[in-house]
């Protein structure tokens, strides 16, 4: 069996999971990456995407809209702006995510416009991965 590490996912609303994992796929702002036991220490900014956790009980997926990930040799912690199990994401939730991102983009300073436009596109990709529509 693969080496296990501690994985925690929290958002301002709640702790979503605290479990042992063999691998965690993370949607990093600078590119997706997989954290495993004994991973080099890393802190990464998250983009909207899906965090996939491989554990003894199988695979769990969580939608995040942003935040940070801290990876150490002993474990990984994701501090998400907003997060929920992928199975709980509905069309109304995606519509809310898109509306929030579009409003931020439409009110952005010129320096932030590219980043916020990318965020709208990332949410559209999450919707597509979940079989939902994005009205961006």
Per-residue pLDDT tens for 47-60?
A: 999 999 999 889 99
Asked whether the predicted pLDDT for residue 136 surpasses 80, the reply is no
Torsion (CA) 59, 62, 63, 65 in degrees, nearest 10: -130
Return the biggest CA–CA distance within the chain: 50
CA distance 1 to 17: 21
Asked whether the predicted pLDDT for residue 12 surpasses 60, the reply is yes
Asked whether the predicted pLDDT for residue 110 surpasses 80, the reply is yes
| Residue 10 near residue 16, CB atoms below 8 Å | yes
45-54, 76-85, 108-117: least confident range: 108-117
**What end-to-end distance do the CA atoms of the chain give, in Å?**
43
Structural tokens at position 90 = 């509905």
Asked whether the predicted pLDDT for residue 90 surpasses 80, the reply is yes
Instruction: Please give the order of strands across the beta sheet that includes 33-36.
Output: 33-36, 23-26, 49-55, 58-64, 83-85
Average pLDDT over the chain reads 93
């Amino acid at each position: 069996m693969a080496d296990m590490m501690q994985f925690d996912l929290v958002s301002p609303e709640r702790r979503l999971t605290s479990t042992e994992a063999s691998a965690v796929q993370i949607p990093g702002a600078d590119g997706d990456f997989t954290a495993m036991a004994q991973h080099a220490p890393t802190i990464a900014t998250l983009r909207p995407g899906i965090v996939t956790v491989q554990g003894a009980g199988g695979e769990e997926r969580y939608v995040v809209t942003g935040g940070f990930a801290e990876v150490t040799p002993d474990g990984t912690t994701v501090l998400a702006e907003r997060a929920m199990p992928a199975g709980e994401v509905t069309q109304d939730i995606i519509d809310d995510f898109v509306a929030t991102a579009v409003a931020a983009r439409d009110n952005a300073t010129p320096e932030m416009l590219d980043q916020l436009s990318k965020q709208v596109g990332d949410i559209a990709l999450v919707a597509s991965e979940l079989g939902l529509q994005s009205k961006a």
